Amino acid sequence: MSDFPLVVENLSFKYRTRPELAVENVSFELRQGELLLIAGSSGCGKTTLARCINGLIPRSYRGERKGKVLLQGRDVAEMEIAEMSQVVGTLLQDPERQIVASNVFNEIAFGPENLGLPREEIASRVEQVMKRLNIEYLHERETFNLSGGEKQKVALAGMLAMSPSILLLDEPLASLDPASAHEALAVFRSLADEGKTVILVEHRVEDAISITPDRLLYMEDGRIKYLGPIKNLPNEIDYTQVKLPAPWVVQRVKALDNAPVVSPRPEERERSEPLVVFEDVDFRYDEEYPFILQNVNLKIYPGDLIAVLGPNGAGKSTLVKHAIGLLKPTKGRVLVEGRDTRTMSVAQIARVLGYVFQSPTHMLYAPTVHEELEFGPKNLGFEPELISKSIVESLATVNMKEFEEYPPLALSFGQQKRTTIAAVLAMRSKILVMDEPTAGQDFANYTRFMEALCGTYDGGSSLLSANFDATLFITHDIDLAVTYANRVLLFGDKHVVADGAPEDVLKDVDFLTKYRVRPTSLLQLNLDLLPKTGRFLPAESLAGFA
């Protein structure tokens, strides 16, 4: 048996459907108890490397593999799946793809049951992992009623209940609120300290750095660009590709002397009639269930760029589903352009509000990306020329032009998410609503499409001003609110607890913490420099003031 739980030797892999190598000459070893952070932009090879480690390559993904992946001295390709599952536990990006049972207890017990463990041992493992992840309150819940973040925690619990020696975590923070992400990271660190080998593939590098990974593996174009400690910012890492702590970015930008010029704050529009109105809205699914929304009052105006923050399970997605007519209030009413949603069909509301779901699998169905984007505009009666124009613009905005003929369900989670955003952009609704738009996205891609939709820092017009009257995005990424929103809603206690400009809502750290929103280095730096800047700015722009 090898001294190293995981050894990767000269690994290269090319998918059968693509001409280029997905990973090339990758070599590294992991010790027992080591926590390795893997970072890099989309398409750099992180997911392919993960698939080679957990055996999905060569079993589920076909292609040409060279080199070796050794688990405890044995080649992955020669191991049985049941045997591998006890060595490597994998947490997928999208919990929807991992959850199979109808209730939480059965979901977490599913893996240990398949190992043939005694009933008492299974129950003990389930209780232990639920306690460790602070999700005992979910014990009796049905999985389809959980929020995205709660599903992510349950999927993690199911993996931990198998007690594998190597943990492969693919974007485990993607659906978690900041406080839950911090708690999950602390669990990963403690598992490594207890002797587990932990591989953390994560776009939220700043969050991951907080638990002091033993090493960072940074990839570009399928190759290892950097492998080593991460006490400060290695020169090999491109700060425009990976989201890093704001002070590091400011330091790099100042050293390169290329801080962008900050344009004046755009003039605020005069408030006209609201586009959407919530009046004293209460909601629960049934009399047996507790209220999810209570006493919600809210108005969305033209020109609003709204970030909705708040803890997992607070009701943020439920709030938005009322605006698009998927849910109707138990009490009160929701008005869209002055009409009660109870009198409107979902199709009628879709002309006003375009909604990007949290999980892309809830939206995608068509054989190709092109047909996916074509569906909405066709049903809304667009002329063929406008449909073609909308598809081209939307794919360019989300950096998906080369994937137009790909089947959506064969794409990565991040690419699927961008496809769903493009599909809604193509419908040219008056209000764009996005649920966790940056989940599964690398920093470079999400900066690109958020800047195209909302950005005004370069002084140019954006897609928002061209095609949308307002946009609203639910997010756990507080930096998204800092950088792009002109209005922040903090949701908690079943209603809106704060509503105002980012500079006002985000300045009270204690209040944010109460609702599980953790301040970031970008927020703190913006608050420190606010007397100089007069408004919140991205890290690169702050370099001109720091």
- Distance spanning both ends of the chain, measured CA to CA: 53
Structural domains of the chain, ranges and CATH numbers in brackets: 6-87+164-244 (3.40.50.300), 98-160 (no CATH), 362-428+443-459 (no CATH)
pTM as predicted: 0.83
What average pLDDT does the segment 246-270 reach?
78
pLDDT at 205 over 80: yes
pLDDT band at 147 (very low <50, low <70, confident <90, very high): confident
Give the residue from 5, 112, 143 showing the smallest Cα distance to 69: 5
pLDDT at 313 over 90: no
pLDDT at 462 over 60: no
Using an 8 Å Cβ cutoff, are 364 and 419 in contact?
yes
**Selected residue with higher pLDDT from 545 and 440:** 545
Listed in sequence order, the residues at least 6 apart from 80 whose beta carbon sits closer than 8 Å to its beta carbon are none
What average pLDDT does the segment 61-75 reach?
92
pLDDT exceeding 90 applies to what percent of the chain? 57
What average pLDDT does the segment 57-64 reach?
88
Average pLDDT in the chain: 89
372-414 pLDDT tens trace: 999 999 988 999 999 999 999 899 888 899 899 988 877 877 7
Strand 197-201 to strand 35-39: parallel, antiparallel, or no bridges (unpaired)? parallel
96-105 pLDDT tens trace: 778 888 899 9
Instruction: Report pLDDT for 1.
Output: 47
Instruction: Report pLDDT for 98.
Output: 82
pLDDT at 503 over 80: yes
pLDDT band at 467 (very low <50, low <70, confident <90, very high): low
326-363 pLDDT tens trace: 999 999 999 999 999 999 998 889 889 999 988 888 88
Instruction: Report pLDDT for 44.
Output: 87
Which residue reads 């041992």 in tokens?
A: 121
Burial of 217 (0-12, 13-18, 19+ CB in 10 A): buried
pLDDT at 72 over 60: yes
Burial of 340 (0-12, 13-18, 19+ CB in 10 A): middle
